[in-house]
Every structure is written in C-alpha cells, then in structure tokens.
C-alpha cells in the first residue's frame, strides 16, 4: 500500500507541483487548501489529487482535518508544510493583523500539522516532514518583517523537531525556495521584481517543479540520513 502524504496549500503554485511530483513518486496525495474552491476543483479534475479544506492556522480545524484524512486513507506518513501567505509592507505601515495572520498561518501551520501527524509517525517508526521556508527567512527582505520572521522560525522549528524525530525514523527538513514563478511572486510590483531578478545569478525565476524535485528527494526512502537540513533552491541568489 502506498504511503499517505498531505501537502498543505497544495492546490496551486509550488504546492500543486509538489502534489504532482509526489503522486508520480507513488504516494497517495491529499492536498489541503484554505479558501480557493475553484482552484481546488480544478486541481482535483486535472490531477486526480483529493483536496480537503481547512485553515492550517486553526489548531482544532487542523487536528480534525488530519484525523479525517487518516480515517479515509490510512495513517499519514508524509507532511509537506507548504501553505503560506504574504502581507507585505514596511513596518511603519504593517498592521497587527498583517503580522499575526502571517505568523499564525505560515509558522503556526507547521506546529498544527506536526501536532496532528508527528506522534503517529514516531509510533510507527517512519515519517517525513518537509517544511517550505524561504530565502527571505534566511536573508531577510525589505517589507517583510512578518514573513521573514515566520520563515526564519520555520528553519528553527525544523532543526528542533528533527532532533526529536531522529531516533524514531522521522526526518524533518526544510527547503528554502528563492523567487519562484507563482501567483505570490507575480504580486510583487514589476519594478521591484525586476530588481530582484537582476540579482539572481542564473538570471531567471525558479519553476515550481524545481522545488518539487527537492521535496521528492527529502521524502524518499534514500533520504533517511538527511534530517535537520535546509536545501536552498534559489538560483544562487543567496549562498548560505
Ligand atoms: N532596500 C532598500 N530600500 C528599498 C527597498 C530595498 N530592498 N525596496 C524599496 N525600497 C525603498 C524605495 O526605494 C523607496 O524609497 P524612496 O521613497 O526613497 O524612493 C521606499 O523604500 C518605498 O518603497 P516602495 O515605494 O516600494 O514602498 P511601498 O510601501 O509602496 O511598498 C513594499 C513596499 C510593499 C514592501 C514593496 O516594496 C514590495 O512589494 N516589495 C517586495 C517585497 C518582496 O520581495 N516580497 C516577496 C514576495 S514573494 C515571497 O515572499 C516568496 C518567497 O518566499 C521568496
């Protein structure tokens, strides 16, 4: 029987590419999403991946959502914490809600999903958690104190949980994408994005499937000795 994997924020962008890659790798994939029903329906129709709606920033909703997935498909062995939002703005303009929403969803989502799925992985002696961080959590980014703090937190969270899972066959790793050609990056003003792309040594935005390939490796049997690591996939923009 194939292993069950949940990809949060899995119906669009990087998350969708991860779903497609892990499906091709032989996993049973469940894509979680929070709001966009049309995108979820399109994802189900075009990939055959089942989509389940809950807010990963909501602790109880996440516990209930993961329990439902386990009941229908079996124990969850792989979690990819990909769901994330931006609420960009310089600190003097950023509201408390902009701060709190990003922390609650981007970082809180990793905690909530791990609380739901990590104990079972530990008991069964096998698991893979991959957290999607960001170059902006490593290097900081003008106008992103909320996002940079949450993503930086994800990198710390990864290293701490990796230590707790190591003896039980549960690996916990992060990927730090650079600027990838997705709706999120398309929302950056053109004049700002041009300057960012000019600083990417390979001279282009990344593609979502280039992140998915990294996730695929970290979820494989062969990656059992890789834990607590961060794989930077950023076209050379930040060598860390
Ligand atoms: N460093 C220093 N100064 C900067 C700067 C930078 N990187 N970027 C802008 N500034 C300066 C501008 O030059 C300008 O200065 P002047 O007024 O003296 O000319 C001042 O800051 C105001 O800039 P804006 O006009 O851009 O200010 P704004 O309030 O309209 O917008 C912003 C601010 C929303 C942060 C906008 O700059 C922006 O969207 N920046 C992009 C942020 C970004 O990269 N987000 C990534 C989203 S994708 C993602 O996060 C995925 C991932 O993981 C990589």
What is the CA(199)–ligand 1 centre distance, in A?
15
**Distance between CA atoms of 168 and 128, rounded to whole angstroms?**
11
For residues 50, 55, 58 and 59, what is the CA-based torsion angle, rounded to 10 degrees?
A: 10
Residue pair 4/23 in contact by the 8 Å Cβ criterion: no
Residue 126 is predicted with a pLDDT of 98
Q: pLDDT above 70 covers what percent of the chain? A: 100
Q: Which pLDDT tens digit goes with each residue over 138-162?
A: 999 999 999 999 999 999 999 999 9
Q: What is the pLDDT of residues 97-115, one digit of tens each?
A: 999 999 999 999 999 999 9
To test ligand 1's pocket by mutation, which of 88, 230, 232, 238 has the most ligand atoms within 8 angstroms of CB? 88
Return the percentage of the chain with pLDDT > 90, whole number: 99
Pocket of ligand 1 contains residue 134 by CB under 6 Å = yes
Per-residue tokens: 133: 């961080």
E-state strands within the chain: 4-7, 28-33, 50-53, 76-81, 127-132, 170-177, 230-233
Say what the pLDDT of residue 1 is: 79
CA distance 5 to 205: 27
**Residue to mutate, 14, 142, 175, 196, ligand 1, most ligand atoms under 8 Å from C-beta:** 142
Report how far ligand 1's centroid is from the alpha carbon of 143 (Å).
5
Residue 142, ligand 1, Cβ within 6 A: yes
- Nearest-CA residue for ligand 1 atom 26 is 192
Query: Per-residue pLDDT tens for 209-219?
Result: 999 999 999 99
Ligand 1 contact via 152 beta carbon (within 6 Å):
no
Q: Does residue 189's CB lie within 6 angstroms of at least one atom of ligand 1? A: yes
Model confidence band, residue 200 (pLDDT cutoffs 50, 70, 90): very high
Closest ligand 1 atom number to CA of residue 143: 35
Contact by Cβ (8 Å): 212, 14: yes
Q: Which residues are catalytic?
A: 147
pTM of this structure: 0.96
């Amino acid at each position: 029987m194939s292993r069950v994997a949940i990809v949060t924020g899995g119906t669009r962008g990087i998350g969708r590419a991860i779903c497609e890659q892990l499906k091709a790798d032989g996993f049973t994939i469940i894509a979680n999403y929070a709001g966009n029903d049309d995108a979820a329906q399109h994802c189900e129709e075009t990939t055959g991946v089942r989509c389940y709606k809950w807010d990963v920033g909501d602790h109880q909703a996440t516990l209930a959502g993961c329990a439902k997935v386990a009941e229908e498909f079996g124990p969850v062995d792989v979690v990819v914490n990909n769901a994330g939002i931006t609420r960009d703005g310089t600190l003097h303009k950023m509201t408390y809600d902009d701060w709190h929403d990003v922390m609650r969803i981007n970082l809180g989502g990793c905690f909530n999903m791990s609380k739901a799925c990590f104990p079972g992985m530990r008991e069964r002696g096998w698991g893979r958690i991959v957290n999607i961080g960001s170059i902006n959590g490593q290097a900081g980014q003008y106008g992103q104190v909320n996002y940079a703090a949450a993503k930086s937190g994800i990198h710390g969270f990864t290293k701490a949980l990796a230590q707790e899972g190591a003896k039980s066959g549960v690996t916990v790793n992060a990927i730090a994408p650079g600027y990838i050609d997705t709706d999120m990056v398309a929302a950056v003003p053109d004049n700002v994005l041009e300057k960012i792309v000019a600083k990417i040594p390979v001279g282009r935005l990344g593609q979502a499937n280039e992140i998915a390939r990294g996730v695929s490796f970290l979820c494989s049997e062969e990656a059992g000795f890789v834990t607590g690591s961060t794989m930077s996939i950023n076209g050379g923009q930040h060598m860390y």
